Structure 1
Protein backbone atom coordinates (compact mmCIF):
# COMPACT_ATOMS: atom_id res chain seq x y z
CA UNK A 1 0.00 0.00 0.00
CA UNK A 2 1.35 3.40 -0.93
CA UNK A 3 1.55 6.33 1.47
CA UNK A 4 -1.31 8.08 -0.35
CA UNK A 5 -3.50 4.98 -0.20
CA UNK A 6 -2.84 4.81 3.54
CA UNK A 7 -3.79 8.47 3.94
CA UNK A 8 -7.00 7.89 1.99
CA UNK A 9 -7.94 4.86 4.09
CA UNK A 10 -7.19 6.64 7.36
CA UNK A 11 -9.21 9.66 6.30
CA UNK A 12 -12.09 7.42 5.23
CA UNK A 13 -12.01 5.53 8.53
CA UNK A 14 -12.06 8.74 10.54
CA UNK A 15 -14.83 10.34 8.52
CA UNK A 16 -16.93 7.19 8.43
CA UNK A 17 -16.63 7.07 12.22
CA UNK A 18 -17.41 10.75 12.75
CA UNK A 19 -20.12 11.27 10.13
CA UNK A 20 -21.20 7.80 9.12
CA UNK A 21 -20.51 5.80 6.01
CA UNK A 22 -23.71 6.81 4.23
CA UNK A 23 -23.22 10.55 4.62
CA UNK A 24 -19.49 10.76 3.95
CA UNK A 25 -18.64 11.79 0.39
CA UNK A 26 -15.52 10.79 -1.50
CA UNK A 27 -14.79 14.49 -2.06
CA UNK A 28 -14.69 15.02 1.71
CA UNK A 29 -12.38 12.02 2.12
CA UNK A 30 -10.10 13.38 -0.61
CA UNK A 31 -9.96 16.78 1.07
CA UNK A 32 -9.13 15.28 4.47
CA UNK A 33 -6.47 13.00 2.94
CA UNK A 34 -4.97 15.85 0.92
CA UNK A 35 -5.43 14.08 -2.42
CA UNK A 36 -7.61 14.48 -5.48
CA UNK A 37 -10.93 12.70 -5.61
CA UNK A 38 -9.78 11.08 -8.86
CA UNK A 39 -6.97 9.36 -6.95
CA UNK A 40 -9.55 7.73 -4.69
CA UNK A 41 -11.37 6.38 -7.72
CA UNK A 42 -8.11 5.22 -9.31
CA UNK A 43 -7.08 3.26 -6.22
CA UNK A 44 -10.45 2.14 -4.81
CA UNK A 45 -12.98 2.56 -7.69
CA UNK A 46 -15.67 4.07 -5.41
CA UNK A 47 -16.72 4.54 -1.79
CA UNK A 48 -17.68 0.89 -1.46
CA UNK A 49 -14.17 -0.01 -2.64
CA UNK A 50 -12.84 2.05 0.26
CA UNK A 51 -15.11 0.17 2.64
CA UNK A 52 -13.88 -3.14 1.20
CA UNK A 53 -10.25 -2.05 1.70
CA UNK A 54 -10.99 -1.08 5.31
CA UNK A 55 -12.62 -4.48 5.85
CA UNK A 56 -9.59 -6.23 4.37
CA UNK A 57 -7.32 -4.29 6.72
CA UNK A 58 -9.50 -5.52 9.58
CA UNK A 59 -9.18 -9.09 8.36
CA UNK A 60 -5.39 -8.74 8.20
CA UNK A 61 -5.28 -7.42 11.74
CA UNK A 62 -7.55 -10.24 12.93
CA UNK A 63 -5.20 -12.83 11.45
CA UNK A 64 -2.32 -11.32 13.41
CA UNK A 65 -4.36 -11.30 16.63
CA UNK A 66 -5.57 -14.86 16.07
CA UNK A 67 -2.23 -16.41 15.11
CA UNK A 68 -1.07 -16.65 18.71
CA UNK A 69 -4.30 -18.41 19.72
CA UNK A 70 -4.54 -20.80 16.79
CA UNK A 71 -0.93 -21.96 17.19
CA UNK A 72 -1.28 -22.60 20.94
CA UNK A 73 -1.24 -26.27 22.00
CA UNK A 74 -2.23 -25.89 25.66
CA UNK A 75 -6.04 -25.77 25.85
CA UNK A 76 -6.18 -23.51 28.90
CA UNK A 77 -3.80 -21.07 27.21
CA UNK A 78 -6.04 -20.99 24.11
CA UNK A 79 -8.84 -19.72 26.34
CA UNK A 80 -6.58 -17.31 28.25
CA UNK A 81 -5.10 -15.87 25.05
CA UNK A 82 -8.58 -15.36 23.63
CA UNK A 83 -9.42 -13.21 26.66
CA UNK A 84 -6.15 -11.32 26.32
CA UNK A 85 -7.10 -10.12 22.83
CA UNK A 86 -9.78 -7.92 24.39
CA UNK A 87 -7.37 -6.60 27.00
CA UNK A 88 -4.70 -5.87 24.38
CA UNK A 89 -7.14 -3.95 22.22
CA UNK A 90 -8.46 -1.97 25.19
CA UNK A 91 -4.97 -1.02 26.36
CA UNK A 92 -3.68 0.22 22.97
CA UNK A 93 -5.25 3.51 21.81
CA UNK A 94 -4.50 2.99 18.11
CA UNK A 95 -5.87 -0.57 18.16
CA UNK A 96 -8.87 0.49 20.21
CA UNK A 97 -9.68 3.34 17.82
CA UNK A 98 -9.33 1.10 14.76
CA UNK A 99 -11.60 -1.62 16.17
CA UNK A 100 -14.17 0.89 17.39
CA UNK A 101 -14.43 2.16 13.84
CA UNK A 102 -14.75 -1.40 12.54
CA UNK A 103 -17.60 -2.06 14.96
CA UNK A 104 -19.34 1.15 14.01
CA UNK A 105 -19.08 0.32 10.31
CA UNK A 106 -20.34 -3.20 10.96
CA UNK A 107 -23.52 -1.83 12.50
CA UNK A 108 -24.04 1.02 10.04
CA UNK A 109 -23.47 -1.01 6.89
CA UNK A 110 -24.97 -4.22 8.29
CA UNK A 111 -21.94 -6.14 7.02
CA UNK A 112 -20.95 -8.99 9.26
CA UNK A 113 -18.93 -12.00 8.23
CA UNK A 114 -18.98 -14.49 11.06
CA UNK A 115 -16.49 -16.65 9.17
CA UNK A 116 -13.77 -14.21 10.27
CA UNK A 117 -13.98 -15.76 13.73
CA UNK A 118 -13.78 -19.35 12.48
CA UNK A 119 -10.09 -19.98 13.32
CA UNK A 120 -10.62 -18.91 16.94
CA UNK A 121 -13.95 -20.77 17.15
CA UNK A 122 -12.19 -23.96 16.03
CA UNK A 123 -9.28 -23.43 18.44
CA UNK A 124 -11.67 -22.79 21.34
CA UNK A 125 -13.82 -25.80 20.45
CA UNK A 126 -10.73 -28.03 20.41
CA UNK A 127 -9.59 -26.54 23.73
CA UNK A 128 -12.96 -27.14 25.38
CA UNK A 129 -12.96 -30.72 24.04
CA UNK A 130 -9.52 -31.36 25.54
CA UNK A 131 -10.73 -29.89 28.84
CA UNK A 132 -13.75 -32.26 28.74
CA UNK A 133 -16.50 -29.64 28.59
CA UNK A 134 -19.92 -31.14 27.88
CA UNK A 135 -20.71 -28.92 24.86
CA UNK A 136 -17.41 -27.64 23.49
CA UNK A 137 -18.97 -26.06 20.37
CA UNK A 138 -21.52 -24.16 22.45
CA UNK A 139 -18.89 -23.08 24.98
CA UNK A 140 -16.75 -21.70 22.14
CA UNK A 141 -19.73 -19.87 20.63
CA UNK A 142 -20.78 -18.51 24.03
CA UNK A 143 -17.29 -17.22 24.73
CA UNK A 144 -17.12 -15.47 21.36
CA UNK A 145 -20.56 -13.94 21.90
CA UNK A 146 -19.53 -12.72 25.34
CA UNK A 147 -16.37 -11.14 23.95
CA UNK A 148 -18.32 -9.49 21.13
CA UNK A 149 -20.77 -8.09 23.68
CA UNK A 150 -17.93 -6.87 25.89
CA UNK A 151 -16.30 -5.16 22.91
CA UNK A 152 -19.57 -3.48 21.97
CA UNK A 153 -20.08 -2.28 25.53
CA UNK A 154 -16.47 -1.09 25.74
CA UNK A 155 -16.77 0.91 22.53
CA UNK A 156 -20.11 2.46 23.47
CA UNK A 157 -19.41 3.31 27.12
CA UNK A 158 -17.05 5.96 28.39
CA UNK A 159 -16.13 4.26 31.65
CA UNK A 160 -16.61 0.53 31.09
CA UNK A 161 -13.87 -1.46 32.83
CA UNK A 162 -12.95 -4.12 30.29
CA UNK A 163 -10.14 -5.45 32.48
CA UNK A 164 -12.46 -6.29 35.37
CA UNK A 165 -14.82 -8.25 33.15
CA UNK A 166 -11.97 -10.08 31.44
CA UNK A 167 -10.53 -11.02 34.85
CA UNK A 168 -13.96 -12.25 35.93
CA UNK A 169 -14.40 -14.37 32.79
CA UNK A 170 -10.85 -15.72 33.07
CA UNK A 171 -11.52 -16.87 36.62
CA UNK A 172 -14.71 -18.63 35.48
CA UNK A 173 -12.84 -20.56 32.80
CA UNK A 174 -9.82 -21.64 34.83
CA UNK A 175 -9.37 -25.39 34.57
Structure 2
Protein backbone atom coordinates (compact mmCIF):
# COMPACT_ATOMS: atom_id res chain seq x y z
CA UNK A 1 0.00 0.00 0.00
CA UNK A 2 1.32 3.40 -0.93
CA UNK A 3 1.81 5.83 1.97
CA UNK A 4 0.56 9.41 1.90
CA UNK A 5 4.16 10.59 1.92
CA UNK A 6 4.95 8.53 -1.18
CA UNK A 7 1.71 9.63 -2.84
CA UNK A 8 2.68 13.29 -2.31
CA UNK A 9 6.15 12.57 -3.73
CA UNK A 10 4.66 10.80 -6.78
CA UNK A 11 2.31 13.71 -7.48
CA UNK A 12 5.16 16.20 -6.98
CA UNK A 13 7.34 14.22 -9.42
CA UNK A 14 4.64 14.36 -12.08
CA UNK A 15 4.00 18.08 -11.60
CA UNK A 16 7.69 18.98 -11.37
CA UNK A 17 8.33 16.97 -14.54
CA UNK A 18 5.45 18.54 -16.45
CA UNK A 19 5.63 22.14 -15.22
CA UNK A 20 9.07 22.50 -13.69
CA UNK A 21 10.14 22.82 -10.07
CA UNK A 22 10.15 26.60 -9.92
CA UNK A 23 6.65 27.01 -11.39
CA UNK A 24 5.00 24.26 -9.33
CA UNK A 25 3.73 25.43 -5.94
CA UNK A 26 3.17 23.29 -2.89
CA UNK A 27 -0.44 24.43 -3.09
CA UNK A 28 -0.74 22.85 -6.56
CA UNK A 29 0.87 19.64 -5.29
CA UNK A 30 -1.48 19.53 -2.31
CA UNK A 31 -4.54 20.03 -4.50
CA UNK A 32 -3.46 17.37 -7.03
CA UNK A 33 -2.57 14.92 -4.23
CA UNK A 34 -5.80 15.57 -2.35
CA UNK A 35 -4.01 16.58 0.85
CA UNK A 36 -3.45 19.77 2.80
CA UNK A 37 -0.43 21.93 2.09
CA UNK A 38 0.45 21.60 5.80
CA UNK A 39 0.79 17.82 5.35
CA UNK A 40 3.42 18.36 2.66
CA UNK A 41 5.45 20.48 5.07
CA UNK A 42 4.91 17.96 7.88
CA UNK A 43 6.32 15.14 5.74
CA UNK A 44 9.07 17.03 3.90
CA UNK A 45 9.77 20.29 5.71
CA UNK A 46 10.05 22.39 2.56
CA UNK A 47 9.54 22.30 -1.17
CA UNK A 48 13.32 21.92 -1.65
CA UNK A 49 13.40 18.93 0.70
CA UNK A 50 10.48 17.42 -1.21
CA UNK A 51 12.47 17.83 -4.43
CA UNK A 52 15.54 16.20 -2.87
CA UNK A 53 13.38 13.27 -1.76
CA UNK A 54 11.86 12.94 -5.23
CA UNK A 55 15.30 12.92 -6.87
CA UNK A 56 16.94 10.53 -4.40
CA UNK A 57 14.04 8.08 -4.30
CA UNK A 58 13.80 8.19 -8.10
CA UNK A 59 17.43 7.22 -8.51
CA UNK A 60 17.05 4.58 -5.83
CA UNK A 61 14.18 2.99 -7.79
CA UNK A 62 16.15 3.18 -11.03
CA UNK A 63 19.31 1.71 -9.50
CA UNK A 64 17.36 -1.16 -7.92
CA UNK A 65 15.49 -1.82 -11.15
CA UNK A 66 18.64 -1.81 -13.30
CA UNK A 67 21.05 -3.42 -10.85
CA UNK A 68 21.71 -6.50 -12.97
CA UNK A 69 22.71 -4.52 -16.05
CA UNK A 70 26.28 -3.96 -14.87
CA UNK A 71 26.89 -7.63 -14.16
CA UNK A 72 26.60 -8.61 -17.82
CA UNK A 73 29.77 -10.51 -18.70
CA UNK A 74 29.55 -10.45 -22.50
CA UNK A 75 31.21 -7.22 -23.66
CA UNK A 76 28.98 -6.55 -26.67
CA UNK A 77 25.80 -7.35 -24.75
CA UNK A 78 26.91 -4.94 -22.03
CA UNK A 79 27.59 -2.18 -24.59
CA UNK A 80 24.15 -2.79 -26.12
CA UNK A 81 22.49 -2.57 -22.71
CA UNK A 82 24.18 0.81 -22.11
CA UNK A 83 23.03 2.00 -25.55
CA UNK A 84 19.45 0.99 -24.68
CA UNK A 85 19.53 2.84 -21.35
CA UNK A 86 18.20 6.24 -22.53
CA UNK A 87 15.16 4.76 -24.22
CA UNK A 88 14.51 2.19 -21.49
CA UNK A 89 14.88 4.60 -18.57
CA UNK A 90 12.73 7.36 -20.06
CA UNK A 91 10.09 4.82 -21.05
CA UNK A 92 9.98 3.46 -17.47
CA UNK A 93 10.12 6.82 -15.66
CA UNK A 94 9.17 9.63 -18.08
CA UNK A 95 8.36 12.26 -15.43
CA UNK A 96 11.53 11.55 -13.51
CA UNK A 97 13.78 11.97 -16.54
CA UNK A 98 11.90 15.05 -17.71
CA UNK A 99 12.53 16.49 -14.25
CA UNK A 100 16.21 15.50 -14.45
CA UNK A 101 16.47 17.29 -17.78
CA UNK A 102 14.95 20.41 -16.25
CA UNK A 103 17.29 20.21 -13.24
CA UNK A 104 20.59 19.98 -15.11
CA UNK A 105 22.15 22.61 -12.82
CA UNK A 106 20.63 21.41 -9.54
CA UNK A 107 23.27 20.07 -7.13
CA UNK A 108 21.32 17.08 -5.79
CA UNK A 109 20.25 16.06 -9.30
CA UNK A 110 23.85 16.23 -10.54
CA UNK A 111 25.19 14.27 -7.57
CA UNK A 112 22.61 11.51 -7.89
CA UNK A 113 23.12 11.26 -11.66
CA UNK A 114 26.89 10.98 -11.21
CA UNK A 115 26.38 8.31 -8.54
CA UNK A 116 24.07 6.38 -10.87
CA UNK A 117 26.52 6.56 -13.79
CA UNK A 118 29.74 6.11 -11.78
CA UNK A 119 30.37 2.40 -12.55
CA UNK A 120 29.47 2.66 -16.24
CA UNK A 121 32.58 4.32 -17.80
CA UNK A 122 35.08 1.86 -16.29
CA UNK A 123 32.96 -1.13 -17.26
CA UNK A 124 32.46 0.25 -20.80
CA UNK A 125 36.19 0.78 -21.22
CA UNK A 126 36.85 -2.84 -20.21
CA UNK A 127 34.21 -4.00 -22.69
CA UNK A 128 35.81 -2.03 -25.53
CA UNK A 129 39.22 -3.43 -24.56
CA UNK A 130 37.84 -6.98 -24.59
CA UNK A 131 36.45 -6.37 -28.07
CA UNK A 132 39.83 -5.15 -29.29
CA UNK A 133 39.04 -1.50 -29.93
CA UNK A 134 42.30 0.47 -30.40
CA UNK A 135 41.15 3.44 -28.26
CA UNK A 136 38.74 2.10 -25.63
CA UNK A 137 38.84 5.27 -23.52
CA UNK A 138 37.79 7.43 -26.47
CA UNK A 139 35.11 4.92 -27.52
CA UNK A 140 33.77 5.08 -23.96
CA UNK A 141 33.64 8.88 -23.94
CA UNK A 142 32.01 8.94 -27.39
CA UNK A 143 29.34 6.43 -26.43
CA UNK A 144 28.60 8.23 -23.16
CA UNK A 145 28.21 11.53 -25.03
CA UNK A 146 25.75 9.89 -27.42
CA UNK A 147 23.84 8.29 -24.54
CA UNK A 148 23.68 11.62 -22.67
CA UNK A 149 22.37 13.43 -25.75
CA UNK A 150 19.80 10.74 -26.54
CA UNK A 151 18.33 10.58 -23.03
CA UNK A 152 18.00 14.37 -22.97
CA UNK A 153 16.23 14.34 -26.33
CA UNK A 154 13.99 11.50 -25.23
CA UNK A 155 13.21 13.08 -21.84
CA UNK A 156 12.57 16.56 -23.19
CA UNK A 157 10.62 15.73 -26.30
CA UNK A 158 10.36 12.10 -27.35
CA UNK A 159 11.75 11.64 -30.83
CA UNK A 160 10.18 9.07 -33.11
CA UNK A 161 13.66 8.37 -34.50
CA UNK A 162 15.40 7.80 -31.14
CA UNK A 163 14.82 4.04 -31.15
CA UNK A 164 16.06 3.93 -34.73
CA UNK A 165 19.22 5.83 -33.74
CA UNK A 166 19.87 3.51 -30.80
CA UNK A 167 19.61 0.50 -33.10
CA UNK A 168 21.96 2.20 -35.57
CA UNK A 169 24.55 2.76 -32.82
CA UNK A 170 24.27 -0.87 -31.74
CA UNK A 171 24.83 -2.00 -35.36
CA UNK A 172 27.91 0.23 -35.55
CA UNK A 173 29.50 -1.66 -32.66
CA UNK A 174 28.49 -5.05 -34.07
CA UNK A 175 30.11 -4.26 -37.43
CA UNK A 176 33.36 -3.04 -35.87
CA UNK A 177 33.92 -6.27 -33.95
Same-fold call, TM cutoff 0.5:
yes
Q: Which structure has the higher relative contact order (CA within 8 Å, separation 6+)? A: 2
Residues 37-64 of structure 1 show CA distances to partners (whole Å, capped at 9, x for unaligned) of 2221222111111111111122213313
Task: Show the counterpart of 1:146.
Answer: 146
Preserved contact between residue 150 and residue 162 of structure 1 (Cα < 8 Å)? yes
> Take 2:101 and 2:34, find their aligned partners in 1: how far apart are those partners?
26
Cα RMSD for the two superposed structures:
2.3
> Take 1:101 and 1:22, find their aligned partners in 2: how far apart are those partners?
11
Task: Show the counterpart of 2:70.
Answer: 70
- 1:69-88 residue pairs with structure 2 within 5 A? 69-88=69-88
Runs of 4+ in 1 over 6 A off after TM superposition: none
* Other structure's SS at 1:112 match: helix
Structure 2 unaligned residues grouped into runs of 5+: none
Q: Count residues in correspondence.
A: 172
Task: Show the counterpart of 1:96.
Answer: 94
- 1:1-175 residue pairs with structure 2 within 5 A? 2-89=2-89, 92=91, 94-104=92-102, 106-107=103-104, 109=106, 111-113=109-111, 114-157=114-157, 159-174=159-174, 175=177
- The 1:64/1:161 distance shift into structure 2, 3 A limit, reads farther
TM-score by length of 1: 0.84
TM-superposed CA distance for 1:88, in Å, is 2.6
> Take 1:96 and 1:129, find their aligned partners in 2: how far apart are those partners?
33
> Take 1:30 and 1:112, find their aligned partners in 2: how far apart are those partners?
27
